[in-house]
């Protein structure tokens, strides 16, 4: 069965609307899926809508293309009602087997075909399958908070899982812009949590022994290894630290240290009420005066900036985002008789300034990316540039007509005013989703040889394409503002 959130509206059921369930709801909704939620908590709808507000603000900014039309969200009074007709059912209830067994019984009674995915952080899927009538449908799909931003999802099969359902899950989560990691060996805690909890366990001992505070321990990660881990895992980081000798040199140099008493990873401090209160109080002091929602927004903005930086380098999690952009980009042949749609996306968080709106540099970036897309459409793509030719921008004139803020959907239409000879004259118009004009960017580009760095005529194919588009666009209304210089009267009402 093919799952494509771009072309086929699917329905996901989410049982449990806590932090993880709410994050799943946001991830699916913004990928164009309909979402049906059941959670007995009377505050569930309020809490999930708060998560959705953060996701709508941050997630669209990760993509350089427009996300699909948002799906519909509905809340249901029973598990059966939520699970009915769903293609995928996410279980995100508390980590108690008795609770999960009860939930699976109701799911199986209501839906006989859906893939069932548990968000458990460490329970073995074989244990989860123990009382099921169709255990082959169940897998573990363990996400990471915030689910709507972090791409990793660990997939784990139980003894009775049909292997086809792991492949089915890979396809679904990939279309959501995620990185499905198949944990091939069923093991408690899977992969990521075992690594995370080793570090957390050591941190608790350092707190218990009075070596450091919560703030100092977080600084020890956030300002050092955490930055490396954002783009390289532990093994590759240590391999690189070994210099030309790689991991072998690293193990020869520091391997013996692993036997020294530097860690208490084999033991856990007793979580007495006093110790729990000490840790909790330090964390409260460290976070003050920010509320949990304030911290979520700061976290999301930082994650978006890091992930977008990785995408610019096509590295690590950034590769997943870049691949998702390709998935989102429509393959339809453009209509050259109309203004060319060269951009359709949401305004990313890092495109806004202290005034809360998109700043001047980002307008220029938007126009630049639209012109790059125009160049691709006429044949000046990466292959052509690799062949030694391209267009260089010679002049740009931007008019700022209205403001736009983070998360707002925008699009760009481009006109070819002239494309003959070595010169290309483009007029880009930036609009809000409702068609309101926000800015215009007029550009003159010169075709150059990358070898000589001098102006030269484009290839016959590009010249022919531009001549055709210029002729078609000449029949369209000439946009207001063409050739306008600073200081001229603005006639726009």
pLDDT at 488: 66
Q: What is the per-residue pLDDT for 475?
A: 96
Q: What is the pLDDT of residues 181-206, one digit of tens each?
A: 999 999 999 999 999 999 999 999 99
Task: Give the per-residue pLDDT at 263.
Answer: 73
Residues in CB range of 177: below 8 A, 6 or more apart? 31, 62, 63, 151, 320, 321, 324, 327
Output the pLDDT for position 74: 98
Report the percent of the chain where pLDDT is more than 70: 96
CA dihedral angle for residue 432, residue 435, residue 441, residue 444, rounded to 10 degrees: 130
Q: Which of 2-11, 155-164, 198-207, 404-413 has the highest mean pLDDT?
A: 155-164
Q: Which of 147-151, 238-242, 428-432 has the lowest mean pLDDT?
A: 238-242
pTM of the model: 0.86
- Please return the burial class of 345, using the count of CB atoms within 10 Å of its CB with bins 0-12, 13-18 and 19+: buried
pLDDT digits (tens, 9 = 90+) for 413-458: 999 999 999 999 999 999 999 999 999 999 999 999 999 999 999 9
CATH numbers and ranges of domains, the chain: 11-190 (3.40.50.720), 194-288 (1.10.1040.10), 332-473 (3.10.129.10)
Top-ranked range on mean pLDDT: pick from 251-265, 345-359, 405-419: 405-419
pLDDT at 6: 38
Confidence of residue 331 (pLDDT cuts 50, 70, 90): low
| pLDDT at residue 454, as a whole number | 97
How far, in whole angstroms, is CA 210 from its chain's centroid? 38
Helix (H) or strand (E) holding 261: none
Greatest alpha-carbon pair distance for the chain in Å reads: 79
Residue 348: which of 277, 406, 421, 268 has the closest Cα? 406
pLDDT exceeds 90 at position 365: yes
Report the distance separating Cα 246 and Cα 265, nearest Å. Answer: 26
């Amino acid at each position: 069965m093919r799952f494509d959130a771009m072309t086929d509206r699917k329905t996901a059921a989410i049982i449990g609307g806590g932090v993880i369930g709410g994050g799943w709801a946001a991830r699916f909704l913004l990928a164009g899926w309909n979402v049906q939620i059941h959670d007995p908590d009377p505050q569930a709808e309020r809490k999930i809508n708060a998560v959705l507000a953060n996701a709508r603000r941050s997630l669209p900014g990760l993509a350089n293309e427009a996300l699909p039309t948002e799906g519909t969200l509905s809340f249901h009074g029973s598990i059966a009602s939520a699970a009915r007709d769903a293609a995928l059912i996410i279980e995100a209830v508390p980590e108690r087997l008795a609770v999960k067994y009860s939930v699976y019984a109701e799911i199986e009674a209501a839906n006989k075909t859906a893939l069932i995915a548990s968000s458990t952080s460490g329970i073995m899927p074989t244990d989860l399958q123990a009382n099921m009538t169709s255990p082959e449908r169940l897998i573990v799909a363990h996400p990471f908070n915030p689910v709507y931003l972090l791409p990793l999802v660990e997939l784990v099969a139980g003894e009775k899982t049909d292997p086809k359902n792991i492949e089915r899950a890979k396809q679904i989560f990939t279309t959501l812009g995620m990185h499905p990691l198949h944990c091939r060996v069923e093991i408690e805690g899977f992969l990521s949590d075992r690594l995370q909890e080793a570090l957390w366990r050591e941190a608790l001992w350092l707190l218990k022994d009075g070596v450091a505070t919560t703030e100092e321990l977080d600084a020890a990660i956030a300002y050092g290894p955490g930055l490396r881990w954002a783009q390289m895992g532990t093994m590759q980081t240590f391999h690189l630290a070994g210099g030309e000798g790689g991991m072998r040199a690293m193990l020869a140099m520091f391997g013996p240290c692993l036997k020294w008493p530097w860690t208490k990873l084999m033991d856990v401090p007793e979580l007495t009420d006093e110790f729990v209160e000490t840790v909790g109080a330090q964390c409260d002091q460290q976070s003050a005066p920010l509320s949990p929602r304030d911290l979520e927004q700061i976290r999301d903005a930082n994650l978006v900036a890091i992930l977008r930086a990785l995408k610019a380098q096509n590295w690590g999690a950034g590769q997943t985002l870049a691949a998702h952009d390709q998935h989102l980009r429509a393959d339809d042949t453009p209509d050259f008789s109309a203004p060319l749609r060269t951009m359709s996306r949401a305004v990313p968080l890092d495109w806004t300034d202290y005034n809360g709106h998109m700043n001047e540099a980002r307008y220029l970036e938007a126009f630049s990316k639209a012109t790059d897309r125009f160049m691709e459409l006429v044949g000046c793509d990466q292959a052509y540039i690799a062949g030694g030719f391209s267009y260089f921008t010679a002049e740009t004139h931007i008019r700022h007509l209205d403001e736009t803020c983070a998360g707002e959907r925008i699009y760009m239409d481009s006109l070819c005013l002239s494309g003959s000879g070595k010169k290309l004259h483009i007029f880009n118009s930036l609009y809000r989703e409702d068609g309101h004009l926000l800015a215009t960017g007029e550009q003159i580009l010169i075709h150059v040889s990358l070898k000589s760095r001098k102006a030269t005529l484009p290839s016959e194919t590009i010249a022919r394409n531009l001549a055709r588009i210029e002729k078609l666009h000449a029949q369209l209304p000439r946009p207001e503002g063409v050739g306008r210089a600073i200081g001229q009267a603005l006639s726009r009402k």
